[in-house]
A and B are shown apart, each in its own frame.
Chain A
Amino acid sequence: MPVIPKFVGERIKRREDPRLVSGTGTYVDDVKLVGMVSAMILRSPYPHAKIISIDVGKARAADGVVAVLTGEDLRGKIGSVPCVAPAERVPFHPVLALGKVRFVGEPVAVVVASNPYKAQDALDLLDVDYDPLDAVVDPEKAFDKDAPVIHEEFGTNLCMRSEVPNPQVDEAMRKADKVIKFRLVNQRLAPAPMEPRGVVAQWHPGLKQLTLWSSTQIPHLLRSQLAEMLKLGENHIRVIAPEVGGGFGCKLNVYPEEALVAYLAMTLNRPVKWIERRRENLAATTHGRDQITYLEVAAKKDGEVLGVKASFVCDMGAYLHLLTPAIPGFSGLMMTGCYKIPALAFEQKFAFTNKMSTDAYRGAGRPEAAYIAERVMDMVASEFGLDPADVRRKNFIPKEAFPAPTAGGLVYDSGDYNLALDKALAMVEYKKMRAEQEAARKQGRLIGIGISSYVEICGIGPSALLPPKLKGGGWESATVRIEPDSKVTVLTGISPHGQGQETTFAQLVADAFGIDIDDVVVVHGDTAQVQYGIGTFGSRGTTVGGPALMLTVQKLQDKMKKIASTMMEVPPDQLIFTERTIAMASDPSRSIPLQQVVDAAYGYKMPIPGVEPGLEEKTFYEPSACTFPFGTHVAVVEVDPETGVVKFLKYVAVDDCGKIISPLLVDGQVHGGIAQGIAQALYEEVVYDENGQLVTASLMDYAVPKADMLPHFDCANTITPSPVNMLGVKGVGEAGTIGSTPCAVNAVLDALKPFGIRHLDMPLKPEKIWNALRNAKKA
């Protein structure tokens, strides 16, 4: 018998990758059906305008055109694009614009034709007469008296105002040696996944069944929302998320095109495909971040922070998408970071503007919070001339304090923040680097060292944390089936799109049953195959989906032990799974092959009285709490004083995501996260001009990070298991993004410190740095 290795904790390559890198994966655009037609969407070139008329005559008559529809044609036929998060004012969000357009890129009409080229040609024949209106672009001006109102029915551009008051904050301000005030901007970003969105819909008229392929992170939640929009039973809709080429939160959503393409397939009785183009993706797929924060920090001379008061202006965009108004809440609650800051108060104003909606983007509210907390620490350090590492140590929640309640009202599960900081500082040779920095400054070289100690909230989570209208809580589901040939099929409710659970979950299952990883198949992303599940977002795949899986595995193990116990005449609690056998723990030579137990379960060899036939179990797992991964990133940068270009000399990341199942995948998540986080710090920003036109409408103008823009990353981990779940895991999907942004910004600003430059808003482009240096030199 071959020796079967253990898989958990090993650096195993992703089992998904061979098919993805060899072009044999199936993405939405690879779905080809007989009689399929193509949809193309006409989008608004105006940020804000009345639609006077739409002339569809020429387009309808064009060669190959099957249908042309406008918003008026759909009135009353398709429900509002949903927003499930609570807000004071939730506008109706039509699938195609009704009467008015409210952002550049808003869908206005759809053309369906025999192929995409004919559809595109027919789009050019549509004639829309617009009456342009003034646009609201700056969220801080959205509440001005003379600002144009985007949704007339509200009479205001204020979507919501929320407040978390705390009288202790005023007390903290009185006790402080200094109250530091500043303004921060978390700029608007485009998630820009490699695969844009795409939808294929097929209607089976006899069965009255809709099959919808969509590049989504949430097949089941999408099914529920589509059922409501299209007034269909959920059991009449099958949603398939095939290979999904990245989501980063922007595919944790329900889009107009998903309902529209479904409606077209149902009414035309033909399969319909729509594939988003890159320019559509940048204009009409949800954006992330876009928060302005005014801060008041009460601090003592020794670096102790007594309290923080913040006022946010959060840009919602023109409409509310699935969770748009829920995202900034996380920024407020997590703003105290890994610090025992006793008093926190904040106010948030949510503004409608003539721009694309914001929503979740990798980190969703926590990168903003970490950026605030880590800029606060550096501001305090520089105010009192302290070492930024010491200020962090002074304020850290000590490891004895866990589970630790915070000023934001959360309870952090576990942590050892000093451990991660010390490890990162040792890796970067902090003292030596500070000495080198000093020496370099004397030579006129601008070297900066940036630290960021972050904590984030993951594994959401208890269902109470999610809005009820989502039609799915914070739980996750799993089915495990041992097939008659003793191969294992896992059906998971999460919907991985790059996270690699086909590998991670197979590692867990293989070890649990003592089988090979190749004996395990992980199925996900198909509502007809998989029991209801919530999906993949908020670093919850392994954190919530993992325990759901392992509880199910335990149920199956129990059943198999019961069968084996009867066959072997050994008590079940003395049995273990090893080497494709069930063996006695104390004497592994006493064993029976796994296959014999499976045969018995399926009833054709040796049925066991009192045991149901078959080997399949299912679990819906509700986590008791969220998890709080943390870590410290340190960057050393050099700024070229002549050009303002930032060069990384070192980048160290120490992340603690609890126990690690798949180290290679943890590294991969951290690498990708750092890339996106550094990109926010230095490169990326969605730009609308003063009239509301999207300037960053193509990848020529939107700076997605490339390999040559990034340094070598030195990654390491500390391991502080989470007490919240049986695996001790915390989640790592967003960690890199959260830790790296403030780290890079702090490093650049540290380099600029001799010039008295206190703060610059992201992205820290060479031009911005160069101008700041020039102005500082003049002064």
Chain B
Amino acid sequence: MKIAGEQVLSAPREQVWGLFNDPERLSRLIPGCEKLEVLGPDEYAGTINVGIASVKGVYSGKLKLEDKRPPEHYKLIVDGKGKQGFVRGSGTLDLEARNSNETVVRYAGDVQIGGPLMQVGQRMIDSAAKMMLGQFFAAAEAELKAHAVGKVARQGILLNFWRYLVRLVRSFFRKG
């Protein structure tokens, strides 16, 4: 499965870069993320709990960052598995400063999915992935705003889903 897209976050590029390299804060933004630990330099181990269609399960795996060029680029390598299947792939993340307070985040990746997750959930995977990414960016936006004033944003599945919907609705108006 190929994933590609871009999002605009209302924060300076350095701040976005900082967020995307902070496992502690990231773990609160990733939908269903139960744990994200540092294994070594640019290497993390994590656990995520998600349900796609009727296939619900816990997946654990490793994340590796390569080709790092702060504050604009890294390559991300994911290898995770759970009882309901596996996810394997790599992608790139590019940050571009649109202005002093806005950053364009571009992502592209190729993911291989297998097991029941693929066999039962394949019709939903595309839209589920889009939704999870949407939730992630909504949470990131909130986190960046709070961080700017020295606070920590409240995070939660329902809250981030709400933030995602709000962003989605706003983006429609922006396009119009």
Report A's interface with B, CB cutoff 8 A.
45-47, 104, 124, 132, 279, 283, 691, 693-695, 697-698, 700-701
Contacts and interface: CB of A to CB of B under 8 A. Distances in A.
A613 B85 CA distance: 67
B122 interface: yes
B122 A695 contact: yes
Contacts of A700: 120, 123
B115 interface: yes
A697 B83 contact: no
Interface in B7-22: none
Contacts of A701: 122-123
A132 B88 contact: yes
Contacts of B99: none
Contacts of B112: 691, 693
A693 B83 contact: no
B115 A45 contact: yes
Closest A-B pairs by Cβ, 8 of them? A697-B119, A45-B115, A45-B114, A124-B83, A691-B112, A693-B118, A693-B114, A45-B85
B83 A279 contact: no
Contacts of A691: 112, 114
A46 B119 CA distance: 12
Interface in B100-149: 112-116, 118-120, 122-123
B86 interface: yes
A347 B120 CA distance: 39
Contacts of B116: 45, 279
A232 to B, nearest CB: 36
B114 A697 contact: no
Contacts of B122: 695, 701
Contacts of A104: 114
B119 A279 contact: yes
A45 B86 contact: yes
Interface residues of B, number: 14
Contacts of B88: 132
Interface in B36-68: none
Contacts of B113: 693
B114 A698 contact: no
A95 B88 CA distance: 28
Nearest to A694: B119
5 contacts: A45-B85, A45-B114, A45-B116, A693-B113, A700-B120
Contacts of B115: 45
A283 to B, nearest CB: 8
A318 to B, nearest CB: 15
A698 B86 contact: no
B83 A46 contact: no
A698 B118 contact: no
A47 to B, nearest CB: 8
A89 B84 CA distance: 35
Contact of A46 (B114, B120, B123): B114
Nearest to B117: A45
A693 B112 CA distance: 9
Contacts of A124: 83
A695 B85 CA distance: 14
Given A45-B116, A698-B119, A700-B123, 20 more contacts: A45-B115, A46-B86, A47-B114, A104-B114, A124-B83, A279-B116, A279-B119, A283-B119, A691-B112, A693-B112, A693-B113, A693-B119, A694-B118, A695-B119, A697-B119, A697-B120, A698-B120, A700-B120, A701-B122, A701-B123
A484 B119 CA distance: 58
Contacts of A132: 88
Nearest to B118: A693
Interface centre among B86, B116, B118, B123 (most CB of A within 10 A): B118
Contacts of B123: 700-701
B76 to A, nearest CB: 18
A397 to B, nearest CB: 47
Contacts of A695: 118-119, 122
Contacts of A693: 112-114, 118-119
Contacts of A283: 119
Contacts of B114: 45-47, 104, 691, 693
Contacts of A697: 118-120
A701 B115 CA distance: 15
Contacts of B119: 279, 283, 693-695, 697-698
Contacts of B118: 45, 693-695, 697
A695 B116 CA distance: 10
Contacts of B85: 45
A699 to B, nearest CB: 11
A697 to B, nearest CB: 3
A181 B115 CA distance: 41
B114 to A, nearest CB: 4
Interface string B76-95: 00000001011010000000
Nearest to B112: A691
Interface centre among B83, B88, B122, B123 (most CB of A within 10 A): B122
B115 to A, nearest CB: 3
Nearest to A691: B112
A720 B114 CA distance: 53
A190 to B, nearest CB: 13
A286 to B, nearest CB: 18
A303 B24 CA distance: 76
A559 B86 CA distance: 69
Nearest to B115: A45
Nearest to A123: B83
A283 B118 CA distance: 13
A108 to B, nearest CB: 12
A698 B117 CA distance: 12
Contacts of B83: 124
Nearest to B114: A45
A691 B112 CA distance: 7
A68 to B, nearest CB: 16
A382 B107 CA distance: 51
Contacts of B120: 279, 697-698, 700
A751 to B, nearest CB: 30
B154 to A, nearest CB: 33
Nearest to A124: B83
Nearest to A282: B119
B52 to A, nearest CB: 14
